Every structure is written in C-alpha cells, then in structure tokens.
Amino acid sequence: MKVTELRLGCSHTVGLPNYSSIKVEASLVVAVEEGETLADVSARAQVELRRVLEETYRAQRRKEGTLDV
C-alpha cells in the first residue's frame, strides 16, 4: 500500500477573562512526496497546522475585539 496523503486535525481551547473561552480548530491534508519519510511529512504538517491554528486564533480575537496587538 502506498500512502499519498496525511490528514491531520486538532483543536485548542483558550481560557479568557470573565469565564469565557475560545475553541480553535484546524485540519489539513498534506501530500506525501516520493521518497519522503513519515517523520518528514509529520514535521512539515505540524509546522503548517500550528501556523493555521495561530492565524485562526488571532482572527477570532480580532473579530471579538480582544486582541491586544
């Protein structure tokens, strides 16, 4: 069996003041290139997934007007 893609997903809940929270979810599909190891694909996917989660979190905080940047 030849693996052609890796699907990843995760979520992170962030506690905010006044007993509120934000749950950020992200998922992605990463293509597996010829000769790439699982460790290579996994490392590349984790970097991208973290970037997407951070971007989504910042967008949500901006939308709510609670981002102090």
Instruction: Map tokens 């790439």 to a residue.
Output: 36
3-state secondary structure of 25: strand
Q: Is the pLDDT of residue 69 over 60?
A: no
Nearest to 10 by CA among 55, 50, 62, 40: 50
pTM for the whole thing? 0.69
Q: Structure tokens of 48?
A: 């991208």
pLDDT tens-digit readout, 18-62? 888 888 888 889 999 888 888 899 898 989 998 988 888 888 888
